Structure 1
Amino acid sequence: MQAITLTIPPNLNVFSDDELYAFCLANPELRIERDETGHIIVMPPTGLESSFTSGELFGEVRNWNRQTKAGRTSESNGGYTLPDSSMRVPDVGWVSKERLMSVTSEELKKFAHVCPDFVIEVRSESDNLKELQAKMQKWVQNGVRLGWLVDPQTQATTIYRPGIEPETKLFTETLSGENVLLGFTLNIQEVLTY
């Protein structure tokens, strides 16, 4: 099952940020995003295997952040309102202290207007690869400095950076947080092997 896009009728215009937040609160069973045109995207829940993968990756980034105290880490329920007016929810997100300084504590209670520095998207069984690749490009266009598209189906991770063509590495290769998550490295195969 793929994500579906809901079109808001023209007479209702587009949800404001507060209306979108209220819509999400009224529908807690739905996984909701908004694209830059105002279309509401409803995504099916992932399978348990994808959830395990996302959880392990979140844990690795969170543990690194706990040691460095360089920012904040979000999991797959945290929504970000991006400069293009979309509201997106990465499987794992990390925001530096520097970017968080522009956000009030009240904004953080909703879908704050801040772009994460780093995101991970995990391809689940129901995800369309081309749509996920487009979403990764949108993340970077909106200010993500480093993004990983983790694909358990191909056992590979595609790395996205501004101004550079995406690069793919196998799960057996060690990934680097580069100049975004300083000192962070991750071998996905080692993390996901039990």
Structure 2
Amino acid sequence: MTTVTTPVENSPIVLHLQPIIDLTDDQFFEFCQINRDLHIERSATGELLIMPPTGSETGNRNAKLTVQLGVWAERDGTGIYFDSSTGFKLPKGAERSPDAAWVKRERWNALTAQQQKKFAPICPEFVVELRSPSDQLQPLQEKMQEYLENGTLLGWLIDRKNRQVYIYRPGLSVECLENPVSVSGESVLPGFVLDLSKIW
């Protein structure tokens, strides 16, 4: 007998540490290193957001996304690309790990070697979040808005469940594309086109 389970939408576990514990940036980095099997982020107000590793199918789609971004970035040469295991310390205090990101090379090179080794204190110009079957949509939408508030110039929230792509740009309303074949990097990533047939 085979049992089929449907993924249940869930939210990350939220740990409230303050005012009892106030982790420094170095302590938070070390906490993440000793708990490498978990995806851990920190909100601007200090809460720890703990998520289990992604499922294999979502991980595969995320890898395909990162490969496409990487091929373009290597050819373009003007920036550095990152996968979902990368943490960034955003200007307003949160530490986030987008599923894919890109930073202009001159901004990356302006960081010290020590800053580059930990959670770099920089907000990527471009970020992508890929919704897994168990992710609630609203927290991801809030995260995308947070990226914009911290300096992101272009963001994509890819909702595989509903085959939609939400496009985030500073000062503009969110655009929702229904079942697009591809999506363009516009002026932020000129010439980059993500083939969504490999993501759906």
TM-score, length-normalised on structure 1?
Answer: 0.94
1:125 to 113, 133, 138: 133
Query: Is 1:175 aligned to 2:183, yes or no?
Result: yes
State the Cα distance separating 1:9 from its structure 2 match.
Answer: 4.1
Counterparts of 2:87 and 2:155 in 1: how far apart (Å)?
16
Aligned equivalent of 1:20: 28
C-alpha distance in 2, partners of 1:18/1:108?
Answer: 13
Change (3 A) 1:53 1:171: farther
1:8 matched residue in structure 2: 17
> Deviation per CA, 1:123-176, whole angstroms, max 9, x where unpaired?
012211000000000011101110000011011110001000110113334311
Give the match for residue 57 of structure 1.
65
Hey, which bits of structure 1, 4+ residues long, moved more than 6 A?
Answer: none
Is the Cα–Cα contact under 8 Å of residues 46 and 126 in structure 1 kept in the other structure? no
**Normalising to structure 2: TM-score of the pair?**
0.91
Q: Structure 1 residue aligned with 2:124, among 116, 122, 127?
A: 116
Distance, in Å, in 2 between the alignment partners of 1:43 and 1:105 is: 29
Q: Compute the displacement of 1:186 (Å).
A: 2.1
Q: Aligned with 2:44: secondary structure?
A: coil
TM-superposition CA deviations, 1:38-66 (whole Å, max 9, x none): 11100122111111111111110000001
- Residues 73, 79 of structure 2: 8 Å contact kept: yes
CA–CA distance in structure 1, aligned partners of residues 134 and 28 of structure 2: 24
The one-letter code matched in structure 1 to 2:140 is: L
Counterparts of 2:110 and 2:53 in 1: how far apart (Å)? 32
**Which runs of 5 or more residues in structure 1 are unaligned?**
none
Correspondence for 1:95: 103
Describe the SS at the equivalent of 1:125. Answer: coil
The size of the alignment, in residue pairs, is 191
